């Protein structure tokens, strides 16, 4: 059993009361549908027979029970279907409210390279779609109990006409299920082709959309459109093939419905017209009651693929104890450079030499080779992730923000930070005045990925978030990229004052002179597989005061 299956099974257990209720309602619906039509058929036919036999027979015909039964069943069927819908959606929502966070925790606990791979929008959209496929499957869980009830009530009613009509009904239903299973398997290939074609289309589109300048210059838009169109046609063709196979589900159900009705009435003929009528209509409604199961089978390959993909994303969790915030001030060693607690180092080097990679491996977001870095003399490869992450307050290079308010963003750095601490951090990144003029202050919405902020504001907010982390080292990746000189100056001053106050160490990737000047040592990063260690340009920490004067 895969990790995701275990998760789903756990949720099914947790939701079993609601699922039972949904199944119960589904059974009521199935029973009421089969018996309603069967009883009605019997009632009419028996009434006709009695009517023909003369007034006395008609007077003696007990019409009260059947006609009351018919009305009761009509109400039961309606109430049952309403109840089933509510209960199954209730169960699905309840389960998904736990599956989403569990999946999220699962990804989070998995190997680090997963985490970075997931930031691509495509992968994210895929996961969200897959989760909704699983959700829809949860809603359909009551289909099987419904079908079983329909079958048992149908068989019982048909048995009134002898074993032959009952057998015929059983054969029809078994046949349609067997055929549907075969069809479900045949849907797998077009389903995969749809996935592949969709991926190819996205690649083609992204390539063309990113090359707008080239297309303009060469007037090659028509060629590019034709290339995207070819992928679009391939996807649409694959979807059409998929719909073609799905169409057969409708066909086999309609045929089975007809066959069940005809054979049941023929075989029940010897038991008299009323029973034949009852068997025919009951058989028809029994096959009709299998409809949800057929639709569920039509979705089977999609559900399987979705769960398989989600399962791939749920690697075996790396169990780790939660570690308290790392408050002691440890020393660091990066690429052979020893950094005492409170030191300030600039990682410098041309772009593409792996500065950001080094930063991300310190945080355990990338795999790290032994010997790259040490915390208090211990190789970080041997240090639990939680401790490594608690050691650094990180400002990422892309200044990524979560959707939420300014307060939410800052609380990510320190959930216990009070307003004063937040405003102080904002002031240190020259953002306090900006936030103060926002309509809702700290509670202003910064939008998904911080879209309501300019690039520079986003970067500074991400920096303020890093400042709030109660960690002994700040780990800032290009903190002032894209800022104008005046703002950069204010950010640099704020950082210097802050470091003086907190005594935190600083590891910074930057090639902006104003920022590099804050550091007392430089650590050049060279793009070589062996990571050549170069001596820092200033081995002795210079007195900081004199530098700032």
Find the binding residues for other proteins in span 465-484 (CB under 8 A): 465, 469, 481-482, 484
Under the binding rule (CB under 8 A), the answer on residue 195 touching other proteins is no
Applying CB under 8 A, among 318, 403, 532, 538 the residue interacting with other proteins is: 403
Which span (91-99, 299-307, 424-432, 495-503) binds other proteins, by CB under 8 A?
A: 91-99
How far apart, in whole angstroms, are the C-alpha atoms of residue 51 and residue 386?
85
E strands along 455-494, which residues?
473-477
Residues 265-304 close enough to bind other proteins by CB under 8 A: 265-266, 269, 272-273, 276-277, 280-281, 284
* Under rule CB under 8 A, residue 490 binds other proteins: no
Among the listed ranges 68-76, 329-337, 518-526, 537-545, the one in contact with other proteins (CB under 8 A) is: 68-76
Distance CA 277, CA 45 (A): 7
Q: Looking only at residues 491 through 530 of this chain, which bind other proteins when binding is defined by CB under 8 A? A: 511-512, 527
Q: Please report how close the Cβ of residue 542 comes to other proteins at its closest, in angstroms.
A: 26
**Residue 421 is a binding residue for other proteins (CB under 8 A):** no
219 lines the binding site for other proteins (CB under 8 A): yes
| Choices 5-13, 185-193, 399-407, 438-446; region in contact with other proteins by CB under 8 A | 399-407
Q: Residue 158 and residue 174: Cα distance in Å, rounded?
A: 16
Is residue 367 part of the contact set for other proteins (CB under 8 A)?
no
CA 75 to chain CA centroid, nearest Å: 39
Q: Which stretch binds other proteins (CB under 8 A): 1-9, 141-149, 412-420, 540-548?
A: 412-420
Q: Does 436 bind other proteins (CB under 8 A)?
A: no
Which residue shows structure tokens 């009695």?
50
Residue 320 carries which DSSP code?
-
Angstrom distance (rounded) from CA 538 to CA 298? 69
The only residue of 10, 12, 20, 86 in contact with other proteins, by rule CB under 8 A: 86
Please, where are the H alpha helices in 313-354? none
Per the CB < 8 A criterion, the answer to whether 27 and 87 are in contact is: no
- Binding-site residue total for other proteins (CB under 8 A)? 163
Non-local (6+) Cβ contacts of 491 within 8 A are 428, 429, 430, 460, 463, 479, 480, 483
Q: Which is nearer to other proteins, 278 or 496 (CB)?
A: 278
Are residues 474 and 312 in contact, defined by beta-carbon separation less than 8 angstroms? no
User: In terms of CB distance, is 242 or 520 closer to other proteins?
Assistant: 242
Q: How does strand 505-509 pair with strand 473-477?
A: parallel
- Sole binder of other proteins in the list 7, 183, 259, 333 (CB under 8 A): 259
Q: Which helix (H) or strand (E) holds 98?
A: helix 64-109
């Amino acid at each position: 059993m895969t990790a995701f299956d275990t998760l789903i099974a756990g949720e099914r257990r947790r939701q079993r009361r609601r699922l039972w209720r949904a199944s119960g309602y589904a059974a009521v619906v199935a029973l009421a549908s089969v018996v309603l039509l069967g009883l009605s058929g019997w009632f009419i036919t028996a009434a006709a027979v009695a009517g023909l036999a003369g007034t006395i027979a008609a007077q003696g015909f007990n019409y009260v029970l059947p006609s009351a039964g018919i009305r009761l069943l009509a109400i039961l069927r309606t109430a049952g279907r309403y109840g089933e819908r509510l209960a199954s959606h209730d169960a699905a929502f309840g389960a998904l409210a736990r599956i989403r966070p569990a999946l999220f925790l699962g990804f989070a606990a998995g190997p680090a390279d997963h985490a970075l791979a997931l930031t691509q929008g495509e992968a994210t959209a895929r996961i969200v779609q897959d989760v909704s496929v699983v959700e829809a499957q949860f809603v359909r869980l009551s289909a099987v109990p419904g079908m079983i009830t329909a079958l048992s009530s149908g068989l019982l009613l048909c048995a009134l006409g002898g074993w032959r009509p009952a057998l015929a009904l059983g054969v029809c239903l078994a046949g349609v299920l067997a055929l549907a299973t075969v069809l479900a398997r045949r849907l797998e290939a077009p389903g995969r082709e749809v996935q592949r074609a969709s991926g190819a289309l996205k690649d083609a589109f992204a390539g063309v959309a990113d090359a707008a300048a080239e297309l303009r210059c060469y007037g090659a838009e028509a060629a590019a459109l034709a290339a995207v169109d070819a992928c679009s046609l391939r996807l649409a063709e694959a979807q059409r093939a998929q719909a073609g196979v799905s169409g057969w589900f409708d066909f086999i159900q309609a045929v089975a419905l007809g066959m069940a009705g005809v054979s049941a009435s023929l075989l029940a003929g010897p038991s008299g017209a009323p029973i034949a009528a009852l068997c025919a209509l009951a058989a028809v409604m029994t096959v009709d009651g299998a409809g949800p199961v057929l639709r569920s089978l039509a979705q089977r390959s999609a559900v399987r693929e979705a769960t398989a993909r989600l399962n791939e994303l749920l690697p075996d969790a790396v169990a780790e104890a939660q570690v308290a915030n790392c408050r002691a001030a440890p020393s660091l060693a990066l690429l052979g450079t020893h950094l005492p607690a409170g030191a300030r180092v600039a990682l410098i080097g041309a772009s593409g030499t792996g500065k950001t990679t080094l930063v991300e491996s310190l945080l355990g977001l990338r795999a790290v080779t032994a010997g790259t870095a040490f915390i208090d003399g211990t190789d970080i490869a041997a240090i639990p992730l939680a401790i490594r992450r608690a050691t650094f307050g990180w400002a990422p290079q892309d200044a990524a923000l979560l959707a939420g308010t300014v307060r939410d963003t800052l609380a990510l750095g320190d959930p216990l930070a009070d307003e004063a601490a937040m405003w102080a951090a904002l002031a240190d990144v020259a953002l306090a005045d900006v936030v103060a003029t926002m309509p809702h202050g700290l509670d202003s919405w910064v939008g998904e990925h911080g879209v309501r902020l300019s690039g520079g504001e986003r970067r500074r907010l991400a920096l303020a978030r890093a400042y709030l982390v109660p960690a002994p080292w700040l780990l800032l990746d290009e903190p002032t990229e894209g800022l104008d000189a005046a703002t950069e100056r204010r950010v640099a001053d704020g950082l210097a004052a802050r470091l003086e106050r907190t005594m935190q160490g600083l590891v910074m990737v930057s090639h902006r002179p104003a920022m590099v000047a804050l550091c007392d040592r430089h650590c050049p990063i060279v793009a070589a597989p062996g990571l050549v260690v170069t001596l820092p340009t200033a081995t002795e920490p210079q007195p900081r005061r004199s530098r700032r004067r």
